[in-house]
Amino acid sequence: MRIGFIGLGAMGAPMAAKLVAAGHDVRGFDVRPAAIELLATQGGQAAASARDAASGADLLWLMVVNGEQAESVLFGDGAAAAALPQGALVVAACTQAPAQAQALAARVAAARLVMLDAPVSGGVAGAKAAALTIMCSGPDAAVATARPVFEALAKRIFHVGSDAGLGSTAKMINQLLCGVHIAAAAEAMHVAERAGVPLATMHEIISVSAGNSWMWGDRGPRMMQDDPPVTSAVDIFVKDLGIVLDQGRRARQGLPLASAAMQMFLAASGLGHGAADDSQVIRAYRALNGKGVSIKNDEPAYAEKIWIGPSYADRRIFVLGESWFGDFPDDLVTDDGYIRAYLDGRVADRMYTKMSNASGLAKREFWEGVMFTNFVQRVGQTRDCKPTAEDYRRACPRLARILEEHKPVGVWILGKKQGEFSAPIVKRAGIACEVSVHPTGGYGVKSATVGASWNALLEKVSRLAPSP
């Protein structure tokens, strides 16, 4: 069959190559010349334009991003519809809203062509393995004509019905579930990492339990990686869940789970992770709650962050302090003998007030843009013992991880002993650092001394990370 193929991207390129390997005459076009050249090396023909690819084709395959691009290829700048012979098939394999697919099919029919609404699922891996799932709607005769092409690309072919839009509806429902399952998997994985459960163990447990899902098995391992290879991007689900919610609005259907998942993908995209693998929606949960690691008996180090306000000059400054005073609520003392100080608003607010009063800085001004971490020390009978040199030394690796994860532009270290161990780590990371006497230490520290130290840090921050 003579096939015009438009869209030689991450999925389109291996699909076109599979069609060539199956014996079809494939003429391909993409906006990137390198993609066209690659197809030519694989036995396909290079087209100079979308119209050129469509000229004389029995079937035109549109592997573009969305319905808008499909319409542009056919009737806009691409003008491919005018180059197709009467009765030719147009396969719209893009993800689009059902109503959009219906409108496009009507316009294609008016041009005396036949459209199959045939979105695909399976991602890059499925495209490379010719193991896609195709959800097709359109006339029976057209589906029969296209079936040899479908079989060269897909392991599963579903004919959903004769009406345009039904294929896109099936794909939309699949994407609803995919998005919700990925977000749910990320939420569960995040709960585990915040609690200190080994993630590989947690993944194995769920994989053999009733809570398992295909997305948990596939995306879960990638959630444990800092920068996994991209098989499907976060922004794909911003688009696809947007289609789901638009359809819900048209049909006056409440879709609360899809809406919640959409917010997490939107948040991840807004944080700058739109091009990352969709498993990295977990970064939105980490930004919301902090990554966190539970304190263990063998690691009396830094607790999770407990609060962050608006950033100073759109950046973060950390305050590193000690918790050694003795007025903790009993429920903050853990069985393993460490105080989870500042992880509770009762303690946090009291400390903000103490710090502000002692430093002479207004509470709101002082805490603007500050993420407060604390040293978690051993609990004695009187709950007033101080950290030892060994405690500080053992805390250093976790401090290094916190700095790497959150990348603050400045760290204000309170306490000379704290500074002796922590300041070198901060400086090695290239982060502005200032060590101050502790303003709540009860040593008669003057607020001017503390305030001068704070201002010195702000000056260093402005030099290392000037405001945009």
Q: What is the pLDDT of residues 363-422, one digit of tens each?
A: 333 333 344 444 333 333 334 445 567 666 766 776 777 677 767 778 878 777 778 888
**Average pLDDT, integer, range 113-136:** 94
Strand partners, 133: 121, 156
With 0-12 / 13-18 / 19 or more C-beta atoms within 10 angstroms meaning exposed / middle / buried, residue 390 is: exposed
With beta carbons less than 8 A apart as the criterion, state whether 71 and 43 touch. Answer: no
- The larger pLDDT score, comparing residue 125 to residue 343, is at 125
**Is 330 a residue whose pLDDT tops 50?**
no
Helix %, strand %, coil % of the chain (to 5): 50, 15, 35
pLDDT of residue 5: 98
Please compute the mean of the pLDDT values over residues 11-33 and round it to a whole number. Answer: 96
pLDDT digits (tens, 9 = 90+) for 136-149: 999 999 999 999 99
Local structure of residue 230 (DSSP, 8 states): P
Q: Between 214-223 and 199-207, two packed helices, what is the crossing angle to 10 degrees?
A: 170
Judge whether residue 294 has pLDDT over 70.
no
Q: What is the pLDDT of residue 394?
A: 67
pLDDT in tens, 201-254: 899 999 999 999 999 999 999 999 888 888 889 999 999 999 999 999 999 999
Q: Which of 402, 410, 399, 407 is nearest to 464 (CA)?
A: 410
**Does residue 316 contact residue 406 with C-beta atoms inside 8 Å?**
yes
Reported as half-sphere exposure (CB side, CA atoms, 13 A), residue 317 has a value of 29
Global pTM?
0.61
CB environment 157-182: b (16+ within 10 A), e (fewer): bebbeebbbbbbbbbbebbbbbbbbb
pLDDT at 145: 97
Q: Quick one: average pLDDT of 308-319?
A: 48
Residues tagged active-site: 171
Least confident of 27-31, 280-284, 292-296, 427-431: 292-296
What tens digit of pLDDT does each residue of 152-171 get? 999 999 999 999 999 999 99
The answer to whether 200 and 206 have CB atoms below 8 angstroms apart is: no
CA-atom Rg of the chain in angstroms: 29
**Which pLDDT tens digit goes with each residue over 43-69?**
999 999 999 999 999 999 999 989 999
**Residue labelled with tokens 């990137």:** 32
What does the pLDDT read at residue 439? 56
CA 403: distance to chain centroid? 21
Q: Among candidates 276, 242, 282, 235, which has minimal Cα distance to 259?
A: 242
